[in-house]
Amino acid sequence: MPETIGFIGLGDLGAPIAANLLAAGLPLRVFNRTAAKADALVSQGAARADRAVDAASAGGIVVSLLWDDASVEEVVTRDGLLDRLGPGGVHVSMSTVSPEGSKKLAALHAAHGVQFVEAPVFGRPEAAVARKLWIAMAGPEPAKTRVRPLLDAMGAQGVFDFGEQIGAATTVKLVGNFLIISAARSMSEALALVANGGFDPKPVVEMLTQTLFPAPIYQTYGRMIAAGTIAASQSDIPEKDLGLFEKTAREVNSPTQIADMLLEIVRAQA
Amino acid sequence: MPETIGFIGLGDLGAPIAANLLAAGLPLRVFNRTAAKADALVSQGAARADRAVDAASAGGIVVSLLWDDASVEEVVTRDGLLDRLGPGGVHVSMSTVSPEGSKKLAALHAAHGVQFVEAPVFGRPEAAVARKLWIAMAGPEPAKTRVRPLLDAMGAQGVFDFGEQIGAATTVKLVGNFLIISAARSMSEALALVANGGFDPKPVVEMLTQTLFPAPIYQTYGRMIAAGTIAASQSDIPEKDLGLFEKTAREVNSPTQIADMLLEIVRAQA
């Protein structure tokens, strides 16, 4: 019998990932702040934890997929979750946080003998269902080796290892989300010109995504924008992630011109 | 014996395209303002025209690949080139111009009975040599049918027909170049954060271009930026093309926030 995994955070992405783990035959103990979100998984065989700490067991593995730095920190510090996990325990943190926040979390875990693996994930909920997620990971080698089969079972079509340095995988996630927003917003501005110039955006999207930009983001957003399915202002990436990119870049004196402008656009349309 | 084609404009991209036509067995009469740039083609069998008008013959085909609206207009109006081409003549205009400029040119051609086909091209000079160009075209059906084999022989791996409305293909070109600049500059800002955060950009480029952005622009620019081969400030797309996108968007009351900001970045780094 494989060990029971704690899974904390059953949002739009967490729920289908947890369902993939269950479907792979891995016993789960799940927790979500809004308890009703655990019901479907419990009916599929997951055990319910009444508090986040109850999802953890000594020396075990806990996975979390939460909203931001503060929510991850709250979950691991409240009720002694890290004490419960203790030496030999591993926390796989999949939330989109700041590199600084991730380093702070790693230090906090180390103080309890818990190994911290950052494993942010790219993919919409449909991609989780279709097992087409991409995961970036960083952390101590033994912990990564231990949790790697878990990441595959979550529905990853690819897992990219960025070494032991905490912050590396988190940075990749921020950079990827920044590039997604930039591509989607640029596609919006481009297709607006096509339409306002009196031309049909559809064949333009078809040409561009078959030639210069044969990438899922351009194809998906381009077709939705051209078909009028989504407003140009919509995007799946939260403003908060763009804010994290900008804040992180400022802290290391890296350019933020494009991020600043994208934030302005996103905020004006919010 | 196939008809002789006039080819005007033997720049970085024009020269290899003309060479492809020659290699395909098409007789060429070539003109370039700096005459020495025609020498290599002449040594490969092209005839030399001393003036642009001498590249044209009654009812024939002239191809041009020049710098901007003004240079195309100057070439077709100077010395009576359109009179020489006359009824039944076709001008394949491959320069990156404005949609308004292209419409103006089409009207000028129509007044001389000459058919105007806009056929802007995507691809670096190496892509021309490798016969990997992408061409967008718009214009009257009979003229497009007549010149289509020519476009294939130029080294196009794909030709996309945007109908008869002049300005359509030109708009696609402006939009494509805008998206290329946006992608390249966003990649620069993203990889700067990775490097300034103390991480290696190379594996980040590898992951992103294998997952979210498997597109030539991201791969090519990303690897060059990560390897330090090019400065983040360099790009193959002239500032003038971004200016045309912005000007055209303003004229039709289309958003220009991203174009404005990219122009600011490009100009600050010029």
A265 touches chain B (CB under 8 A): yes
A234-265 pLDDT, tens digit each: 567 899 999 999 999 999 999 999 999 999 99
A47-74 pLDDT, tens digit each: 999 999 999 999 999 999 999 999 999 9
* pLDDT reported for residue A230: 65
Place of tokens 């999949």: A94
Cβ contact B175–A204 (<8 Å): yes
Q: Which residue in B has a C-alpha nearest to residue A218's C-alpha? A: B213
Which contiguous run of DSSP H or E holds residue A18? helix A14-23
Residue B229 burial (CB count, 10 A): 10
What are φ and ψ of residue A210, in 5° steps?
-100, -10
Q: Rounded CA gap, B211 and B209, in Å?
A: 6
B15 touches chain A (CB under 8 A): no
Q: Rounded CA gap, A214 and A208, in Å?
A: 7
Question: If you count residue pairs, one on A and one on B, with CB atoms under 8 Å apart, how many are there?
Answer: 192
A68-126 pLDDT, tens digit each: 999 999 999 999 999 999 999 999 999 999 999 999 999 999 999 999 999 999 999 99
Active site residue B173: yes
Q: Rounded CA gap, A87 and A167, in Å?
A: 22
Q: Rounded CA gap, B245 and B223, in Å?
A: 27
Cβ contact B211–A257 (<8 Å): no
Mean pLDDT computed over B251-268 = 95
A173 touches chain B (CB under 8 A): no
Rounded to the nearest 5 percent, the helix, strand and coil shares of chain B are 55, 15, 30
Residue among B186, B197, B216 whose CB faces A179 most closely: B186
Contact between B117 and B92 under an 8 Å Cβ cutoff? The reply is: yes
Which region among A42-46, B1-5, B28-32, B174-178 has the lowest average model confidence (pLDDT)? B1-5
* pLDDT reported for residue A235: 64
Mean pLDDT computed over B39-68 = 98
Please, which residues have CB within 8 angstroms of residue B215's CB and are 6 or more apart in sequence? A212, A213, A214, A215, A218, B183, B209
Cβ contact B214–A214 (<8 Å): yes
A15-38 pLDDT, tens digit each: 999 999 999 999 999 999 999 999
Residue B202 burial (CB count, 10 A): 14
Please, which residues have CB within 8 angstroms of residue A220's CB and are 6 or more apart in sequence? none
B215 touches chain A (CB under 8 A): yes
Mean pLDDT computed over A153-172 = 98
Q: With a CB-CB cutoff of 8 Å, which residues 47-106 of chain B face chain A?
A: 99
Q: What angle do CA B79, B81, B87 make, to 5 degrees?
A: 140
* Structure-token pair, residue A165: 């340095």
Q: Which residue in B has a C-alpha nearest to residue A247's C-alpha? A: B193
B180 touches chain A (CB under 8 A): yes
B195-231 pLDDT, tens digit each: 999 999 999 999 999 999 999 999 988 999 888 876 6
* Structure-token pair, residue A67: 């909203």
Residue among B99, B158, B198 whose CB faces A197 most closely: B99
* pLDDT reported for residue B32: 98
Domains of chain A with CATH codes = 5-164 (3.40.50.720), 171-268 (1.10.1040.10)
Which region among A224-228, B27-31, B57-61 has the lowest average model confidence (pLDDT)? A224-228
Place of tokens 């998984």: A41
A168-213 pLDDT, tens digit each: 999 999 999 999 999 999 999 999 999 999 999 999 999 999 999 9
Q: Rounded CA gap, A176 and A184, in Å?
A: 12
Cβ contact B193–A261 (<8 Å): no
* pLDDT reported for residue A174: 98
Q: Would you say residue A232 has pLDDT above 60?
A: no
Residue B154, CA atoms < 13 Å, CB-side half-sphere:
29
Residue among B167, B204, B265 whose CB faces A197 most closely: B167
Residue A214 is given by DSSP the state -
Q: Would you say residue B191 has pLDDT above 80?
A: yes
Q: Rounded CA gap, B237 and B221, in Å?
A: 12
* pLDDT reported for residue B235: 64
Residue A44 burial (CB count, 10 A): 12
Residues in a beta bridge with A158? A134
- Mean pLDDT over all residues of chain B? 95
Alpha-carbon gap: A15 to the closest alpha carbon of chain B (Å): 22
Q: Would you say residue B161 has pLDDT above 70?
A: yes
Q: Rounded CA gap, B201 and B67, in Å?
A: 35
* Structure-token pair, residue A183: 């591509």
Contact between A209 and A219 under an 8 Å Cβ cutoff? The reply is: yes
- At B233, is the pLDDT very low, low, confident or very high (cuts 50, 70, 90)? low
Q: Rounded CA gap, B241 and B175, in Å?
A: 9
Residue A196 burial (CB count, 10 A): 16
Mutate to test the interface with A, among B170, B186, B188, B217 (most CBs of A within 10 A): B186
Nearest-CA neighbor of A126 among A229, A220, A246, A30?
Answer: A220
Residue among A160, A258, A264 whose CB faces B186 most closely: A258
* pLDDT reported for residue A233: 52
CA distances from B29 to B32, B33, B56, B157, B245 (A): 11, 14, 8, 24, 33
Q: Which residue in B has a C-alpha nearest to residue A198's C-alpha? A: B168
* pLDDT reported for residue A270: 72
Q: Rounded CA gap, B108 and A50, in Å?
A: 77
Q: Rounded CA gap, A80 and A94, in Å?
A: 20
